[in-house]
Amino acid sequence: MNVFLIDIAVMAALVIVGRILTFQRRGSRYRRGISFVAWLVTCANFTLIVKLPGMPPPEPVTALLAIWQVAFAILLLRHDGNLAHLLRSLHLTRRH
């Protein structure tokens, strides 16, 4: 069961990294802070892709990680990879 959850978390991380890397602004303004957050999310997920298969965490942590990764991947896909819109919908950024 643990290997199955690790595979799910890694596949979700691949979806997240792929969607962030292929995001196109299409004329929207450049936001330095959001770009930094996207870079952090990409680095964290890339580290997860590389490290997780070799060093699996305990079973409950793996289950929570898989759920978190799948939920984040679904949210990111629903917002077409736009991290600023995703964070705004979660009310984590201030509106001016």
Six token digits for residue 59: 């079973």
Return the CA Rg of the chain: 14
Do residues 8 and 53 make contact, with C-beta atoms less than 8 angstroms apart?
A: no
The burial class, CB within 10 Å (0-12 / 13-18 / 19+), for 67 is middle
Six token digits for residue 63: 């289950």
- Which pLDDT band holds residue 95 (cuts at 50, 70, 90)? low
Nearest 5°: phi and psi at 27? 90, -10
Distance CA 17, CA 39 (A): 10
The pLDDT assigned to 92 comes to: 57
pTM summary value: 0.86
- Counting other chains too, the contacts that 51-56 makes at CB distance below 8 Å and 24 or more residues apart are 52/6, 52/9, 52/10, 52/13, 53/6, 53/10, 56/2, 56/3, 56/6
Is 28 or 17 the better-scoring residue by pLDDT?
A: 17
The pLDDT assigned to 24 comes to: 87
Residue 93 pLDDT > 70: no
User: 26-84: per-residue pLDDT in tens?
Assistant: 887 888 999 999 999 999 999 999 999 888 888 888 899 999 999 999 999 999 888 98
